[in-house]
Amino acid sequence: MAKSASVVKSQDIKDEIAEIVEEEAFLIKHSGETPEIAYHSGLYYLFEDPEGPRLNPEGVDLMPMKRAVFKRYKKILLRDLKPENRDRKIYRGVARSIANWHRLKNFCYREDFDIEGVRKETAKHLLQFLENEIEEVQAGKRSSCINCSFKELREFAIDLGISEKKLPTGLEKLCMNP
């Protein structure tokens, strides 16, 4: 028994819409420093832009785009906690990781995403970064690149679930003045 033409056409339309949303998700994943701006630009394109598809928002699954925002934030958050990136043009420093953590956290709360996995991963990367920074600065291999105050760094660590006691000794000297 053959499917009716309207059922086939309806599925084709759903597939086309899903493909368009995936293209927007791709753009978000490869956006710059502000994935939420790319997300909102994508929403505008999908629903309002006269040159866009002008979709009806009902029934459009935006989850691929939201996951792309989450993944992009995570990528740029962790990028700035990797010592090997410190001398690259893409590096923005701990201060940018702090800003991106807050952006990601706010996005996750608004969109009901679980952030605990990223919180733990970020905490691990932050501790490794700080230990490496202390080691290299003390060994005279480099000057510090911690571009935030110790107060900001401590608050970031605590927000990530790191107790102040676990922070490496001597960090205060490597941070910017308040």
pLDDT in tens, 79-91: 999 999 988 988 8
Of 135, 29, 34, nearest to 83 (Cα)?
135
pTM of the complete model: 0.86
What one-character DSSP code corresponds to residue 177?
Answer: P
What DSSP line would sit under 2-32, residue for residue? PPPHHHHHHHHHHHHHHHHHHHHHHHHHT--
Sequence spans of domains, the chain: 1-79, 89-178
pLDDT value at residue 9: 59
pLDDT in tens, 50-64: 999 999 888 899 999
Q: Go through 107-142 and write b for each residue having 16 or more CB atoms within 10 A of its CB, e for each that does not.
A: bbeeeebebeebbeebbebbbebbebbbebbeeeee
pLDDT value at residue 101: 97
Cα angle, residue 164 at apex, residues 117 and 103 outer, rounded to 5°: 45
Per-residue pLDDT band at 13 (split at 50, 70, 90): confident
On the question of pLDDT at 1 being above 50, the answer is no
